Structures are given as C-alpha cells and as structure tokens.
Structure 1
Amino acid sequence: MVQNRVIMVKHLGLIDYKEALAIQEVYYKTMVDQKHPRATVDPSRQPLASSYLLFCEHPPVYTLGRGGSMNHLLVDAATLATQKITLYHVNRGGDITYHGPGQLVVYPIIDLEFFFRDIHRYLRLLEASVIEMLSHFNIPSTSLPGLTGVWLKADKNSKPFDRKICSIGIRVSRWITMHGLALNVNNELAPFDQIIPCGIPKAVTSMQQELNKSISIMDVSDILAQIILKKLNYV
C-alpha cells in the first residue's frame, strides 16, 4: 500500500452538527473508495485522498452515541424545543454529550493504516494531545483509568471534585476514523446539567471557568492541531 501521511487542517467555523457530519461522511467515503479492491479508478493514476483534522463549533445540540441511554437525557422534547437544542442519534461510540458555541470540536478523519492499527492507542493519543495543549495554558489535567476523556483532578483547596473538560467519542471503520473530541473552552456549562454527560455522573468544567477569563478558540485550535500532527507523525 502506498503510504499517505498527509493531514490537512480545516477550520469550519460555527456549523450545524448535521452539516459537519455530512462533510465527515464525504471525506470518509472518498478514502474508503480508494481502498476498495474493485475501485473503478486506478489508484496509481490519481492522488490518494488526504486525512483531515476538522475544527469547528456547533449550535446547541445533544448527541447520543451507539449504546447510549435516553435515560441520561434528563429533560423532555418540549423543553429541548423551547431551548432550541437539537438531539441527534449518531454512529459514534460513547453516550450522550452536549455541543454548543464556545466549545471546540475536532473531527479527525484519518486512515490509521498509514500510522498505526490500534484504536486504543489512537484514543490515548487524543487524550494526551489535549492534556499537552492544556498545559500550555497552565491547566493541569489527566486521563482516568477506564474513563475515556480528559479530566481535572480534585483540588482539596478549591475544587474538591473531579471534573471533565474534554469528551471523546469516535467511530473507526476500515481503519478510517470519524467523530472525535469536544473540548470545553468558553461554552456555557448549564446544558450539561440536563444530561448525565457520557453516562458518568461527574462534574463538567471549561478552560474559561478554570482560568476565570475567556480564551481564544483559534489559539487553542492552532496549538492542538500542531500537537496532534506531531504525535501522529512521530509516535
């Protein structure tokens, strides 16, 4: 197989969740089509499709992954309609989470066959990338055994509880990744009170809440993109 480790970084801005999902699916299908043994176009006569890192924000939306429980949504459809929050059932792993303006969402569409075939290693890479990025802002964070995502540990002096700052939910098919991570930067946290985030009854936080100031999402995006690219190409 011809190795193609090119990864394009794209910023989609504030975009409807369904539209962003459609973009992911287009890139995914293009990559799958080139891997199909009966592809109609000779791969030696066309450039291989790049992998992508898509950065965006979403209008208010709850997404429920495969195997997630509707019991983890604590309000009814009428309440969601009043609040103008959409609910989507999606084909990623994980349970229910919230996306909204001010939250940075990253969708890596990556052919892991060009890097490594190990889904758990990929999940740990995403966690480690967020942890390293947060350290640039002097926010100490960690992963927790058995719980996918990035967390801030309890601080007995001021924050006596563990709190989640980044959720991760992915889908991998034919070694091509979809979906990704959602990092709370400046977004409102109240919508998380209406769900059991990722099915785990723990607190949620944001970079803004931890630092008591607003953070540039573009600065966060640029730092995180460079870290992910570094880890993918040099692990």
Structure 2
Amino acid sequence: MPRPDGKPARWVISEAQVPYPMALDTMRNRASAIATGEADEAVWLVEHPPLYTAGTSAVATDLLSERFPVYDAGRGGQYTYHGPGQRVAYVMLDLRQRGRDIRKLVEGLESWVIDTLGAFNIRGERRPGRIGVWVERPDKGHGREDKIAAIGVRVSKWVTFHGISLNVSPDLSHYQGIVPCGIADQGVTSLEDLGQLVSMAEVDIALRRAFENNFGAVADSVEESLVSARKLGHRQDQSNRYWSRI
C-alpha cells in the first residue's frame, strides 16, 4: 500500500523499554496529528516491560493469570503478550493516502512480517480465519503450528495505530498467563525458538527493508522525539537514556 506521492513515513526506534500507557498516549496523539495534517506518518519500533493487553474481542476467561499488568488496548483482537525480546512495531499510516482499504492493510501487515521472516529463512504463513503469522511445527506433531507474530490495528479518521508484534527472543513461558489470541490448540514460537539467534538490530534492518517493499519509503527521523527522555523520567536508569527521533 505505497503512497502515490512517495512521501516517506518516519522510521523511529526506541532504545529503552516504553511503558504501555505512554505508548498508547503517544500513538493516539500522533494519529490525531496525522489526521489533521500536522504530522507525518510514522512507524515506531519498541519493546515493552512484561504485560498483557486485551483487544476489543477479548474473553475474560482467556486471562488465566494476572502475573503481569493487564491493559485495555482498544485495538482489534483478543489477549496478547508484550515483553522484552519481542519487537513491537506501531504503524501510524494515513489510509486516505493508501487506498482506504482496511482488509488490504491487514494483508499488507501480514506480508511485511512474512517477508521479514524470510530474511532469516523462516517460512511464515497466513491462516484462513486467523489474523497473524504462523509457522508449521512438524517437530511437535502432525498438523501442529505456532504463532510467531500477532497483528492488531485500530483505525480512526482513516489513520491507523497499533500494529504488529514479532517474537524475536522473548520468554515464551510468559504466554502461559493467557490464551493467546483466543487460540488454545496451538502454540507460540520465536526466532530464537526456531534456532535463529539474531539481534534485535538485525531484525530491525529486515523489518525496514520488508516495510519498504510493501508500504513504500521510510526516512530516519530528524525531528523532536515521539516520547522524550524526560517523560520516561525515573522509570529508566539514567545510564540507559531513551532517545527516539521522528
């Protein structure tokens, strides 16, 4: 879904873990500014502390344990997990410039993940009736498969927010507190679990290339940060300062 005018989206990578409520506020504010023409589109790559989020279709019985904080995400989908070792990519795109087709948006996000996985010789696949990206696991038995990436979006005034989460090297036991995305008969996996020991920086490079193939150009940020180091304040160690440029 590239823009006809070729205008690049801002590409932002946060170096420190971002608290989830702060991420929600930042996305909403950015999406609102995009809708009014006051800001450029942005793709924001983050990691979160361990937490669970509930989408608009979440079922209470799918929350098995409140071992981590639980947040109402306001996106589509059910329960999911976010935490260290998982790359979350929030996409704030103006669909007025990209065809106003939400189904095509979701397909584009899935293709983005599938192409990224392909850079590491992992075959990600779609499944009818399930949003997200799956990997076959014949080593676990006939017909078994694991989910490696979740997708959940919200659209307001034709501007998107939320996005994808790709498991790079998270603690997969943290998923035991939920029924991920409401699917109880299959598992979850990660690049590390599949034998691909890659850094987050390597994944980010692959994500960027795949995004450009599916959605068009991006540009490194040269403006004021999405979330300033000062806003993170005491939540971050002073030796691990947070800078993300848009």
1:170 to 129, 138, 153: 153
Q: TM-score scaled by structure 1?
A: 0.85
Matched AA of 2:112 = S
1:58-96: CA deviations, max 9, x gaps? 000100011211110112x4xx2xxxx211012100000
Over aligned residues, Cα RMSD in angstroms? 1.7
Match of 1:129 in 2: 112
Q: CA deviation at 1:121?
A: 0.6
Counterparts of 1:1-235 in structure 2, within 5 Å, are: 5-13=7-15, 14-34=17-37, 49-75=39-65, 77=66, 80=67, 85-155=68-138, 158-160=139-141, 161-201=144-184, 202-211=186-195, 214-233=197-216
SS at match of 2:194: helix
Question: Which stretches of structure 1, 4 residues or longer, exceed 2 Å deviation after superposition?
Answer: 2-6
Q: Secondary structure at the residue paired with 2:25?
A: helix
| 3-state SS of 1:151 partner | strand
Structure-1 separation of matches of 2:189 and 2:168: 9
Kindly indicate whether the alpha-carbon contact (under 8 Å) linking 1:53 and 1:225 is maintained by their aligned counterparts in 2: no
Name the one with the larger helix percent. Answer: 1
Structure 1 unaligned blocks of 5 or more: 35-47
Q: How far off its partner does 1:3 sit? A: 5.4
Deviation at 1:5, TM superposition (A): 3.0
For structure 2, which runs of at least 5 residues remain unmatched after alignment? 218-246
CA contact (8 A) 1:73 1:96 kept: yes
Deviations 1:158-198 (A, max 9, x none): 23211000000100111100101110001000011121101
CA contact (8 A) 1:4 1:50 kept: no
Equivalent residue pairs, number? 210
Q: Name the TM-score, length of structure 2 as normaliser.
A: 0.81
Q: Partners of 1:135 and 1:197 in 2: how far apart? A: 24
Greater relative contact order: 1 or 2 (C-alpha under 8 angstroms, separation 6 or more)?
2
Take 1:114 and 1:123, find their aligned partners in 2: how far apart are those partners? 16
Q: Percent identity?
A: 34
